[in-house]
Chain A
Amino acid sequence: MSPAEPATAASEGAATGPRSAPPSAARWWWTFGLLRSELGVTLRRWRTLALLGILAALPVLIGIAVKVETGDGGGSGGGEGPAFIHQVTNNGLFLVFTALAATLPFFLPMTVGVVAGDSVAGEAAAGTLRYLLVAPAGRSRLLLAKFASVVVFCLLATLVVAASALLVGVALFPVGDVTLLSGVTVSFGEGLLRALAIALAVTVSLLGLAALGLFVSTLTGSGIAAMSATVGLLITVQILAVIPQLDALHPYLFPYHWLSFADLLRAPVLWDDVLANAGLQALYVAVFGSAAWARFTSRDIAA
């Protein structure tokens, strides 16, 4: 794995003899152990817990708002609002879709931007990065473990929103068979499965930003700078995405296909946009993942 090591290593790699690497099983477990340690550190940060708490609270707010709005007799609230919000009163499961649709444009990616942006830069700022590297964690493996833990965070954040929305939806509204967007009715069980699929699609939607944040994080020695730069990029992209004059650019912006997850609520499922989204996110991961790797493996760790 030494191409992973600083730049000189790559150029001289050919000259090295066989390596006395630890047995492959032990190595595998070790990588897993590093990932587990990485996740533990991420999830035990007060900041991470606060972000997850906010994400858990948002569906509660939406649920209560919908309940109050429909409870005072009106029922015909003004047309605008997050997708699916009008179905919530008929079926609590729709609160899951509403909550994801409401948090995906900003709140969810913001938390991902904070966690991804902080991942390398925060440790560089605290100085712990140098101790991990002389342990020696190996720069590529450390970066991989960090990206993996950000991906897990993306999944976790999405699931927190979905689970909180499901609980609130079940508590405040009737549940039962689900009428899909195409008019077909499916059982509540299948509705739950589709909700899970949507959560996964939302997680995938966040991966491009996760890679972007990780790259930004390798550029600076300040966690705050990396976090705000990543969230700033998110806001910038979201603004660019609504400027019609930039139509030609839009298909290349990472949020372009984000709301495609609604297509999973059709029967049959319309996969085109969902797959296009996955492809776009994979492209971002490839480009910015490589850039992060190139930067991190050759960088002087002087803090």
Chain B
Amino acid sequence: MDVPPTAEPAVEARGLSKRYRGGQLAVDGLDLRVPRGSVFGFLGPNGSGKTTTIRMLLGLIEPTAGTAALLGRPMPRDARRVLPAVGALIEGPALYGFLTGRDNLARFDAADPTADPATRRARIDAALGRVGLGAAAGKRAKAYSLGMKQRLGLAAALLQPRELLVLDEPTNGLDPQGMREMRALVRELAGEGITVFLSSHLLDEVEQVCTHTAVMARGRLLTQGPVAQLAAGVRGRLAVTTPDAADAARVLREHGVTGLSVAGDQVTGDPPDAAGTGGAGAGGARPVDLADLNAALVGAGVRVRAFGVERGTLEDAFVALTGEGFDVAG
């Protein structure tokens, strides 16, 4: 979803840093820009500083250095004006166990100075319906499963019409079905024009729902930009499936394919520079067409079962950026 470049970013941070009392630098000079209308995936391993960043953005903790702005207004100075337009799920849900789901929402709604008590009931019902908790609304929150608590937390973020949703690890604790529903909901909200800032340590989650992403590791921002661009920045791997693997590798090497590896009937390698990567942006002159590579294989008597380029994934991009893998559970 593209937005006019003139629009103020939904989230902007400049040189944002946080040093905790122990001297540990949790966030180090973060420059972040979340375009309006985007679904922004804020990626990083656990402990990389994502939650600290979110807490600074929302005015819960004070930056050691740098500035933050939400919806074009400085935080935390304009918190009272900005935050009613921001829904947030921060580091998991927190509820009053002795109150029912509905009363929990009423409690959080009462804390919002812009929330109209006259419409509270209707808005609570709508939010409960939206996250699929209508039936459990009268149960005490302490009887909720983690997934239900997560849903109730999301309902609290949806009590008012929002311009920005900040969701910190929203699929934590959800079962696969719940995860799918959460992703569908995020897409639906984005379709309504709400900017969604979603932190996650799950690459596939970000790849599935996000338009933009930023990657954080050890307190520093490694990269940010549209998801497609980031994934495309990683060169795809040429993959050939053939019973004549050794011959195929030889022919491919002769045609400039590098980094070849053979595993059973699978031969993979980096295509020559100008060859199509299979991804976007591979226009222009192509001295070596992938089709020619295939023809060369066949011409050399190599029996080819499958031939193609595996697109670079966000995970490849991440590994390329950090030089290490990370938890991709889920």
A interface residues (Cβ-Cβ under 8 A, vs B): 1-2, 5-9, 12, 16, 19-20, 22, 27, 29-30, 33-34, 36-37, 40-41, 44-46, 126-128, 130-138, 142, 298, 300-302
Asked if B80 and A131 make an inter-chain contact with CB atoms under 8 angstroms apart, the answer reads: no
Asked if B111 and A142 make an inter-chain contact with CB atoms under 8 angstroms apart, the answer reads: yes
Asked if B99 and A44 make an inter-chain contact with CB atoms under 8 angstroms apart, the answer reads: yes
Q: Contact partner of A301 among B61, B80, B93, B98, CB < 8 A?
A: B61
Asked if A130 and B113 make an inter-chain contact with CB atoms under 8 angstroms apart, the answer reads: no
Asked if A5 and B80 make an inter-chain contact with CB atoms under 8 angstroms apart, the answer reads: yes
Asked if A301 and B60 make an inter-chain contact with CB atoms under 8 angstroms apart, the answer reads: yes
Main secondary structure on chain A at its contact with chain B? helix
Known: A131-B108, A135-B83. A8 touches B76 (CB 8 A): yes
The complex places the Cα of A132 from the Cα of B77 at a distance, in Å, of: 17
Q: Tell me if B88 counts as interface (CB < 8 A to partner A).
A: yes
Asked if B62 and A298 make an inter-chain contact with CB atoms under 8 angstroms apart, the answer reads: yes
Additional 4 contacts, C-beta under 8 A, given A8-B77, A41-B96:
A126-B94, A126-B95, A136-B59, A301-B61
The complex places the Cα of A245 from the Cα of B81 at a distance, in Å, of: 55
Known: A29-B117, A135-B111, A136-B112. A19 touches B94 (CB 8 A): no
29 contacts between A and B (CB under 8 A): A2-B80, A5-B59, A5-B80, A6-B62, A7-B62, A8-B62, A12-B77, A16-B77, A30-B113, A33-B117, A37-B106, A37-B107, A44-B99, A46-B98, A130-B60, A131-B90, A131-B94, A131-B111, A133-B60, A134-B59, A134-B88, A134-B90, A136-B80, A136-B84, A136-B111, A138-B79, A298-B62, A300-B60, A302-B60
Asked if A300 and B61 make an inter-chain contact with CB atoms under 8 angstroms apart, the answer reads: yes
Asked if B79 and A5 make an inter-chain contact with CB atoms under 8 angstroms apart, the answer reads: yes
Please give the distance in Å from A146's CB to the nearest CB on chain B. Answer: 12
Asked if A34 and B59 make an inter-chain contact with CB atoms under 8 angstroms apart, the answer reads: no
- Cβ-Cβ contact count across A and B, 8 Å cutoff: 109
Residues of B contacting A131 in the complex (Cβ-Cβ under 8 angstroms): 88, 90, 94, 108, 111, 153, 156
Please give the distance in Å from B169's CB to the nearest CB on chain A. Answer: 14
Residues of A contacting B30 in the complex (Cβ-Cβ under 8 angstroms): none
Residue of A nearest to B18 (CB): A300
The complex places the Cα of A130 from the Cα of B112 at a distance, in Å, of: 13
The complex places the Cα of A37 from the Cα of B90 at a distance, in Å, of: 22
The complex places the Cα of A7 from the Cα of B109 at a distance, in Å, of: 26
Please give the distance in Å from A135's CB to the nearest CB on chain B. Answer: 4
Residues of B contacting A136 in the complex (Cβ-Cβ under 8 angstroms): 59, 79-80, 83-84, 111-113
Residues of B contacting A2 in the complex (Cβ-Cβ under 8 angstroms): 77, 80
> CB-defined interface of B86-122 with A at 8 Å, one 1/0 digit per residue?
1010111111101100000011111111100100000
Please give the distance in Å from A15's CB to the nearest CB on chain B. Answer: 9
Q: Tell me if B255 counts as interface (CB < 8 A to partner A).
A: no
The complex places the Cα of A85 from the Cα of B62 at a distance, in Å, of: 56
Asked if B76 and A41 make an inter-chain contact with CB atoms under 8 angstroms apart, the answer reads: no
Q: Contact partner of B59 among A6, A12, A30, CB < 8 A?
A: A6
Residues of B contacting A130 in the complex (Cβ-Cβ under 8 angstroms): 55, 60, 90-91, 94
Known: A41-B96, A44-B99, A126-B94. A36 touches B110 (CB 8 A): yes
Please give the distance in Å from A27's CB to the nearest CB on chain B. Answer: 7
The complex places the Cα of A34 from the Cα of B91 at a distance, in Å, of: 24
The complex places the Cα of A101 from the Cα of B129 at a distance, in Å, of: 53
Residue among B62, B76, B110 with max Cβ neighbours from chain A (10 Å): B110
Q: Tell me if B58 counts as interface (CB < 8 A to partner A).
A: yes
Q: Contact partner of A127 among B79, B92, B99, CB < 8 A?
A: B92
The complex places the Cα of A128 from the Cα of B91 at a distance, in Å, of: 11
Known: A131-B94, A134-B58. A22 touches B77 (CB 8 A): no
Asked if A41 and B99 make an inter-chain contact with CB atoms under 8 angstroms apart, the answer reads: yes
Residues of A contacting B99 in the complex (Cβ-Cβ under 8 angstroms): 41, 44
> CB-defined interface of B29-72 with A at 8 Å, one 1/0 digit per residue?
00000000000000000000000000100111110000000000
Please give the distance in Å from B2's CB to the nearest CB on chain A. Answer: 29
Known: A30-B113, A41-B99, A142-B111. A133 touches B80 (CB 8 A): no
Asked if B114 and A9 make an inter-chain contact with CB atoms under 8 angstroms apart, the answer reads: no
